[in-house]
Structures are given as structure tokens and as C-alpha cells.
Structure 1
Amino acid sequence: MDDELRSALPMSFGRQEVKAARADVAHDKTKRKEVSFGPPRPPPRGQQQQQQQQELEDEAQPSGRAAAGGSGGGGAFGPPRPPGNHQQRAAEGADGDAGLVGPPRPPPSGSRGEGGGGGGSDASDASDDDDEEEADPYRLPISNEVVLTGAERAVTCLDVEHTGSRVAAGSVDNVVRLYDFNGMRSDLKPFREVTPHDGHPVYSVSWSPTGDSFLAVTGAAQAKIYDRDGREKGEFIRGDMYIRDMRNTKGHVSGLTCGVWHPTDRFTAMTASEDGTVRIWDTWNVLQKTVIKPSLAGAGRVAVSSCAYNSDGRLIAAGIMDGTIQVWSVGGKFGRSAAIGAVQPPSAQHIEKQGWSYVSKPSQVARKAHEPQTEITGLAFTQDDRTLASRGADGTLRLWDLRNFKSPLKTFSGLPTNYSTTNVAFSPDERLVMTGTAAEDPRNDAGGGTVVFVDVKEQRVVRALGMPAHAAAVKWHDRINQIFVGVGNRKSGGTHVLYDPSFSERGALLPVARAPRAASALDFVPLCIKTPHALPMFREEGGMSLRKRGRAPEQAQLHPGLTTP
């Protein structure tokens, strides 16, 4: 076709398809600039050999090389000089061919594989893999980073569904945000926001083992259950605050501190509260099943700051505000009827109302595990139920052997935290245990927090990743091999996702190359209407609260509309 005629005719009709960006180009934009803080790592084996060869060459050079140019200046200019005799002998090898030109010689027969041909390339690939393993023996997926947006303040808790497709992140701004990697685009916005209790920050979120529901725990006394799309399914019952004995109440009477779903049972969840109890719930009927009251040294109520299941749900651990860690075994006959031991003889109606069981004595107790009157912010078991990791607000991370639960195996100090929800988590292979720190961590010179990785076997800190603000929540998902970190402060927040395109799967790799959705005129934008007196600049001090607070009469005269009795 003639070029002039072709330029006048359209080459295609209808709406054109927008091509997605290449994945490799998109991943290049998400690479971390500063990977880690802390002690430097040794260079790879190949780099070490190059450094040693360069040092030998520098020692063999004559001392007057810089002045051999004849100009008497400090440095040499132009192309480098030909190699000396010692370099020629090193390059000649065994055959003595000094002027060899072309590709390098094949490796000796002893270095090839048993199969004959192609063994040299296999050996070189193996050496490259060894160099990568020496550079990072733990293969941390930290080369790239994206941030799930939407949070206005610090993200203090998060959990990832077992398939790795959806993330639930709770924030100090009282909102739980749901992210779906399958439908998300590169703007990384949540598809649903829910507020369990207005005015109460979110302390814990936990997905069910089937991924069809999640548990949201706030500072209120009642936890809520939502389906995977953010629709409310039920709310736990609140107990009677006037009953003194906590085993006779059908729910918590004070604010919650932690909550987690059973790892294998989709109809069981657990919550901890400031009323000094841990309660196990039937999530199908939304009723209380068991009341666990920790064993205390004296009378009174001591808040429970954290709780955790082991991998199969047969062990329950709880951190108490008096500094103790207590572990209960769920196997066998777990608990007795809560109606037994009541002050009055229980009637038939009383027994039916108290259908839950009661447990008090733990199977293992570690006294003074952390500093008293400070929160034990996180607990985590290993798969073999031999090691327990605990995180405390006293700035420590401790490893415990459950076979000898008297003293910790190792204590790591200097880990400050500003949030009572700072958790601890193991890597999928359980070689590492990680936790977050606050912005006061001296490892980060930029003034942000860090994510600290500890080798469980060697019992030492091996890596510390810098974060722009406080790091309060961490999660390493085994199926997609990605690390999730809840970061933020009073002004901003976000969920940082660390991954590596070479050995991470799905998850954050899916939406990175997708273009954001174009704005439409039909989009609904909610309006925020505020009355004038709701703004701080128009708010008047005093009012009817002066009489309640017992202000002086002369202060009340400043407000003519106020009449004093």
C-alpha cells in the first residue's frame, strides 16, 4: 500500500488494548536502595580471590611505577602498561603460551563432571550458586520493596491468608484494611476498609485456617468476626462487669489485648484481655467455650498482654503483665465446669448458662521471663514445640527451651519498641526469628525502625533491615516467600512487602506491573461535612463540664450562659 494512502486510513478500529508494563522493568523500580544495616557481610568467594590476586599484583609492582612516566607527576595517564614478567608467567600456565589469543582454555578434565561434555558449564553454574549462598546464606527475599497504601497512622498488626492472596492490616486509626493481590493494581490500594469499634485501635487480626473469615481484636471488650470480603458475621459476648469471679462471666469485661484463630480448627478462636483471662470461643455459635485464668503469685487481676497457639493448637502460651510466661496443654481433659465452685449452689438454670469450662493451673511457668509491669508483646512456637520465642516491651527478645523452661537460652537486648503489639515470627525453615524495633534503634542512622533477624542455632543477630518509621508487626509467609512489615507513626503508616523476583511467588509480584485504574466520572467520592463548632479553632473550653470537674466559681463567671447551683 502507498505510504500516503496508508497514513490516511486507520490501522485498527475500536478501543485499543493497553499493554501492561514489562515485569522486569517494574521490578527494577521497586528495588531497595539500602538493603540492610549492621555488621558487614564477607564478600563472595570469587570476589575474595580477585582481591587477593590484586593485592599480590600490587605488591609485585616496582615502587617507581608512578614516576616511570617521565613527567614526575603523582599518577599515570593513558592506557595501562603491559603485564610484567610475573604476570606473564601467571597467564602462561603449564604450557607456557605467552601470546595466547582468543577464548580461554577449557577447564582441566578433573574439574568436569562425570558425564563428559558440558561439565565445565555445570561447574561454573555451581560456583555461581555457591557465591550467592555465601553472599546471603539465608536467601532473604529483601531485594525489592513495595508499600500497601491507605493507612493514616501506624500499622500495628497484620496477617496474611494461608494462600497468600489477601492481607488484613490493622492500624492505630481504628481501621482494618483488606488487600487482594489478585485484583490489586500498582497503586496498591485496599479494596475494603472496616472499623470494628470506633475510637478503639486495632490490636490484632488473624485469618481462619480456611481463609473464609478473620478475627479483629480492638481495645474494646468484644472482638468481631468478618468474612473474607469484610462483611461482619458476629460479635463476641461481653461479660458482666459486676461479677467478681472472672470464671463465672460469659465474656471479657475489660479491653482486649490480643487474639488469634486456631491453626487447624475453623470454629475456634482465642482472645486475651486486661481482665486477666484468656478465653476460647466457638466462632460458629459465637459462644464462650473455655475460660483460662493464669496462676498468679498473689490475689488480684493482672492483665494478659499476649497469647499464641502452637502449630497444631495443642499448646497455648500467654504473656502476663507481671513478667511471667505460662503454657497450658490442651490435650486430654482440658478444664472443668465453671459452675463448680460458685458461691451459691448452682441451680439448673445457672448450670445451663455456665456451659463453658474453666482452667487455671498451667503445665509450665517461667517466672520473671521479662521485666515486671511491662507487656510481653509477642510469642511464637516452633514446629517441633521445643523452642518458644518471646518479645517484651523491655527491649528484649528471648529464646526458650520448653524442655527446660526455667531460664532462657539466649537474651537479645537493645531492641526498643513503642507499641504493645510488636510481635515475633519465625522464618519458614525456622532458621531465623525476626521482630521489629522502634525508631530509637541505634542500628538505623536515618532515624527509623528496623527489622532484626536472629539466627536460632548460632544465637546471634545476622541482619537488620532499615525502615522509615516504627516497625511493629512482622510476618514471613511461607507459600509466597515474602516478608510483610507494619510500619508507621502518628502521622503516616503502611504495610511494606519485601520480596525477591527470583525466588518469591505471586503475592506482591502480581500487581506491580498492572497500571492503575483510570478515574471515571461515575466514581463515588464521599463528602466529609463538619459543623463549625466541631473544629478545634471554634471549640469553647468549659461549658457544662465545669461543674463536673469542680472548677472554681470565678472561672465559671467567664461564661455568661452557665448558671451555677
Structure 2
Amino acid sequence: MSDTSTSDSDVEDDNDDLLPIASHVNIIHGLKTVSCLTLDSNGMRMITGGHDETMKMFDFTSMDKNFQPFRAIQPCPGRLLRVIEYKPNNDMILIIPGDCQAIVVNREASGKHIIYKTVLGDLYVTDMNRTKGHKSLLNYGCWNPSSNTDEFMTCADDCTLRMWSLRKRDQQLHVIRTKDECGRDVRTTTCTYSQSLYDDENSNLIAAGCDNGSILVWDRRRSFVHVTFKCLNAHLQNQSVTSLKWSYDNQILASRSTDHTLKIWDIRKFDQCLSSCENIYNHFSMTNISFSPNDKFIITGVSKCTNSNDDETNGKLMIFNRNNLSKPLNEILFNDSVIRTLWHPKLNQIFTTTNNGLVRIFYDEQRSPMAGVRLCLSRKEKKPKNQNDFVANIDPVIASSFTSNSIDEQRNIFPENRKDEKKSSSLHQHLVQTIVKPNIVGEEDPRVELLKHAKEAESNSKWVTPAYVYTQPKPIFQQQIEEENDGEDLLPLLKKHRNK
């Protein structure tokens, strides 16, 4: 027995050495629950969102130790955010708000950032197959993991899964209705695509979790009318399945539910789970699951129990071996509930969110590459800029030759070379005087100017006077000037008085 216990402890120590949990960094998103967490495939950018209706974008390549986002927007004002996910090729972002319509924005989420918005279903049509979109609140959404497609999937309280394409904007591609064993509609709480890393028979599967604890799986190569695999009693009745996640090899399906359990399944033997862990509290509908990059470990968050203050009821990040969920490999305590978890495959860093607006990132300097949050730790904090501060950077050596004292000294040394300031002029003034003619019309006397030409006009009459040389040699001028009456001009012609 002692040899067996020793070997088990050695295995646990080896597993702890593989986990990137030696150090951690805290990033503050806000004061409310952080229900959304996503990173691009390269690990360069991170997006968080939550119940404060704000989506914050962080760039690890330019961020310093202050961990401030480069953009914060409200894509759906008045609606809390449930899911945010990068597209596999990182050029678009899918946003699932607490609304009936999902939206797709560009990578920068700037300008006219909304690229696509799903169609709203007809509220007066009862047949879900005949509506062009969801007519109830959305619960979850995700991209197709294949990088050569523009397809994504959503699920809602209208008991349907709907697949959409950015190339078809008027309605959805397919509608899948979720039903129980009696044929009654049940609400769909989560959905997921199988991984497309391996081209096998399980790479075309779609799984959905319902609010009655059942898990349903369809094959895309067949009709969606009938379920391919199903487990109607996967979790307790009237308990919602909050997350479904396929392993990277598409052999294992992990499920998390509000019945405070974590289970793993093999769909070839879907009647009974392979392993499970109970009494791990889950009070949030966004609590999810993540697999490690080597597909050996599973992580999930645990909610804080509000009935007690013991350590056993605090929020936790629990790490399990994929083959055995009976006992966790490691538990990391939090002061609040842990909701979202993400183990990035390239960064080998673990990202978690809590219900108090905190994002905690775990890493290991030996096993995590120099990327992601480790880039920010190597940069110095930037000093905050104050608009009221004014800093003048003047070189004293250069400025000394232009001071007032130096100019006065030059004037005193060469007084004879300096012209009088009143008489001197600049080159600019000289050019203006030569180009622009002076305006002297206002300074001349018109009577004097006309008398200059009086003698010439009498001797050489050229214009008007030659016409009267023979008929009227002497000019006759009017002797009396009659007063003009402007009012008579306005009267009719027949009513004017004749002059006697």
C-alpha cells in the first residue's frame, strides 16, 4: 500500500509540474460579473464582457503593466453580454447579447463595426421552422471551427438551434428543434461544434444541452429531424446544462450543469458517463469547461457558496485529469465565484473570470512562452499625461545666441552699420511698393485737374463742342432752376398741372 500511495503522489507531482499555475496576474474589467472571455488564435488580443454591458479589448503586444484596454464599447446598449468569441481566422467577432439577435463585428470593433445582424423571428408565428430567426432570448452562440467558412450557430429559449451564414442575410441556414422523450419542446441552453483538427467521423457533429438535463447530438451529414445520439438523463431533471466541450481528438464530450456536477462522455456509449465529479457548485449559466492543449487535463470554475464562509465553499479553479474526474489534481482558491475559463493552446496560459469583475491569468515562466500577458510584464508603466502640464525642452547652448542680451551687444558693437529704424525698409516692403501702384485718387482735387485741360479744350475742340460751332457759337445756360416735385412724377400724365 505504501508503494502505491508513493507512486500516486509522484504522479500528482509530475502533473503539477506540467500545469502553468506558478504565477498569476489580475486585470480589472469592472465591478460586475465578467461573463464573456475570448482570445484570438495567436494570443495577441483578449476581449472581456459582462453584465455591465461593456466589451473591453486588450492588446498584449502594446499593453504595459497597467493592463488598460485600448478600446471599450457597448455593442448592445441596455443588454448584458452572454458570449463573445473570435472567428477562427480572427477577422470577426461574434457577440451574443441578452437579446433575440446576435451580431458580428469587425476585428477592431470601430467605425461601422456591425457587419451582420441576425434576423428577428416573427412573433406571431408559432411554428419555429417557419420563422426566419429567433423570437426568444439567446443563450449561447459559437463559430464553426473550420477556418474556411462563415458559419456560426446560436441557441435560444424558443427551443431551437439555428445555423447562420454571413453570405445569406435574409434568414438562417438550418433550424434544429430540441425535444424531450415525449416529443415536447425543451429550451436549449448551450451548443457546440466538434473540433475540426482531425478529419474523422466525429468531425461533423453538433451537440446541444437543454434545460431538462439532456444532451442531444446531430450529424451534419444527415437530416436534422432525428437525433443521432442522445442522453436524456445526462444530468438531473430541471437542471440546465451550462457548457459542452469536445476534446481536441473529438473522442470525449465534457458537460457542466447547474446540478453541481462535471461529467465526461463517450458518444459511442452514451448511456453512462465515463467519469464524473459532484458537489462542485455552479450558480451561473455561463460556467464553462476547457481542455488543456495536450488534451490531458480539464479545467472548470466553481461558484462560491453564500451560506458559509469556510474555505471549502469559496470560489475555485479546479483542474482534473481527463481520464479520472473523481479527484481534482489541483484547486486554486478565489474570493469570489469563477465563471469563465480558457486554456489557450499556443500561450499555455490559463484565463479565468469572476463575478466581481476580475480577470486572473495564470502562467509559468518555464513552460509558458514569452507571449501573451508575459509581454506586458516586461514593459514599464507609462506615466499618465496631464493636459494642464506644459514641458518646454530648450537647448541652452542654441538658445543663448538668440537672447535679448546678445542682440543688444551686437547693436552696440556695430552702430554705424545699422540704418535708422524709421528710414530703413525691408526687401518685402520694397517688392510690394513696386508691384502695387499707390492709390492717389482720393488725394487729388478734381477741380484743379479739370482746369489743367481748359485751354487745350478751347483751342482743340474734339468731342462735343464741334457740333455747335456754326449753330450755337455762344453757349446759352439756364438762368433759373425750377424746383423739382417728385410727387408729381408719380401722378398720371393727364392729371399733371401745366405751367402757365
Regarding TM over 0.5, the answer is yes
Q: Can you list the C-alpha shifts for 1:100-124, whole angstroms capped at 9, x where unaligned?
A: xxxxxxxxxxxxxxxxxxxxxxxxx
Shift of 1:424: 0.8
2:183 is equivalent to residue 326 of structure 1? no
2:120 is equivalent to residue 238 of structure 1? yes
**How far apart in 1 are the matches of 2:130 and 2:271?**
32
What SS class does the counterpart of residue 461 from structure 1 fall into?
coil
C-alpha spacing 1:447/1:411, structure 2 compared with 1 (3 Å):
closer
C-alpha spacing 1:501/1:291, structure 2 compared with 1 (3 Å):
same
C-alpha spacing 1:195/1:446, structure 2 compared with 1 (3 Å):
farther
2:36 is equivalent to residue 154 of structure 1? no
Shift of 1:385: 2.1
Does the 8 Å contact 1:279/1:289 carry over to 2? yes
Q: What's 2:441 paired with?
A: none
Show the 5 A alignment for 1:182-193.
182-193=61-72
2:156 is equivalent to residue 292 of structure 1? no
Q: Which entry has the higher C-alpha Rg, 1 or 2?
A: 2
Shift of 1:443: 11
Q: What's 1:270 paired with?
A: 153
**How far apart in 2 are the matches of 1:502 and 1:318?**
38
Show the 5 A alignment for 1:354-503.
359-440=224-305, 445=311, 448-459=314-325, 460-488=327-355, 492-503=356-367
Q: Which runs of 5+ in 1 are unaligned?
A: 1-41, 49-130, 336-358, 524-565
C-alpha spacing 1:242/1:387, structure 2 compared with 1 (3 Å):
same
Q: Which residue identity is paired with 2:172?
A: Q
Does the 8 Å contact 2:29/2:359 carry over to 1? no
**How far apart in 2 are the matches of 1:514 and 1:391?**
38
**How far apart in 1 are the matches of 2:82 and 2:380?**
33
Q: Which residue of 169, 187, 194 corresponds with 1:310?
A: 194
**How far apart in 2 are the matches of 1:263 and 1:443?**
41
Does the 8 Å contact 2:241/2:256 carry over to 1? yes
**How far apart in 1 are the matches of 2:121 and 2:59?**
35
Shift of 1:240: 0.5
What SS class does the counterpart of residue 173 from structure 2 fall into?
strand
Larger deviation: 249-258 or 229-238? 229-238
C-alpha spacing 1:478/1:430, structure 2 compared with 1 (3 Å):
same
**How far apart in 2 are the matches of 1:380 and 1:446?**
26
**How far apart in 2 are the matches of 1:444 and 1:180?**
38
C-alpha spacing 1:213/1:444, structure 2 compared with 1 (3 Å):
farther
Number of aligned residue pairs? 370
Does the 8 Å contact 1:294/1:361 carry over to 2? no
Shift of 1:295: 3.1
Q: What's 2:49 paired with?
A: 170
**How far apart in 1 are the matches of 2:335 and 2:70?**
25
**How far apart in 2 are the matches of 1:311 and 1:166?**
22
Larger deviation: 132-141 or 154-163? 132-141
Does the 8 Å contact 2:275/2:323 carry over to 1? no
Shift of 1:427: 0.8
Does the 8 Å contact 1:43/1:135 carry over to 2? no
**How far apart in 1 are the matches of 2:69 and 2:139?**
25
Q: Which residue of 368, 382, 388 corresponds with 1:504?
A: 368
Q: Which residue identity is paired with 1:324?
A: S
Q: Can you list the C-alpha shifts for 1:72-116, whole angstroms capped at 9, x where unaligned?
A: xxxxxxxxxxxxxxxxxxxxxxxxxxxxxxxxxxxxxxxxxxxxx
Q: Which residue identity is paired with 2:151?
A: T
Q: Which residue of 78, 102, 107 corresponds with 1:223?
A: 102
Does the 8 Å contact 1:276/1:294 carry over to 2? yes
**How far apart in 2 are the matches of 1:483 and 1:292?**
34
Q: Which residue identity is paired with 1:456?
A: R
C-alpha spacing 1:189/1:285, structure 2 compared with 1 (3 Å):
farther
TM-score (norm 2): 0.70
What SS class does the counterpart of residue 247 from structure 1 fall into?
helix
**How far apart in 2 are the matches of 1:299 and 1:408?**
24
Q: Which residue identity is paired with 1:214?
A: I
What SS class does the counterpart of residue 510 from structure 1 fall into?
helix
C-alpha spacing 1:413/1:190, structure 2 compared with 1 (3 Å):
same
**How far apart in 1 are the matches of 2:81 and 2:337?**
16
Does the 8 Å contact 1:322/1:374 carry over to 2? yes
What SS class does the counterpart of residue 501 from structure 1 fall into?
coil
C-alpha spacing 1:160/1:517, structure 2 compared with 1 (3 Å):
same
**How far apart in 2 are the matches of 1:267 and 1:296?**
31
Shift of 1:328: 0.7
2:384 is equivalent to residue 519 of structure 1? yes
Q: Which residue identity is paired with 1:309?
A: Y
Percentage identity across paired residues of the two chains: 28
Q: Can you list the C-alpha shifts for 1:257-315, whole angstroms capped at 9, x where unaligned?
A: 00111111440111110111011110244441111112333455421000011112511
Does the 8 Å contact 1:453/1:464 carry over to 2? yes
Q: Which residue identity is paired with 1:233?
A: I
What SS class does the counterpart of residue 179 from structure 1 fall into?
strand
Q: Which residue of 142, 155, 161 corresponds with 1:260?
A: 142
Q: What's 2:413 paired with?
A: none
Q: Which residue identity is paired with 2:53?
A: N
What SS class does the counterpart of residue 158 from structure 2 fall into?
coil
Show the 5 A alignment for 1:33-52.
none
Does the 8 Å contact 1:157/1:472 carry over to 2? no
Larger deviation: 382-391 or 238-247? 382-391
Does the 8 Å contact 1:443/1:450 carry over to 2? no
C-alpha spacing 1:301/1:457, structure 2 compared with 1 (3 Å):
closer
Q: Which runs of 4+ in 1 moved over 3 A?
A: 42-45, 131-138, 284-287, 298-301, 441-444
**How far apart in 2 are the matches of 1:148 and 1:472?**
15
**How far apart in 2 are the matches of 1:392 and 1:132?**
29
**How far apart in 2 are the matches of 1:432 and 1:137?**
11
**How far apart in 2 are the matches of 1:147 and 1:197?**
26
Shift of 1:389: 0.5
**How far apart in 2 are the matches of 1:249 and 1:469?**
41
Q: Which residue identity is paired with 2:335?
A: P
Q: Which runs of 5+ in 2 are unaligned?
A: 197-202, 389-500
TM-score (norm 1): 0.62
What SS class does the counterpart of residue 403 from structure 1 fall into?
helix
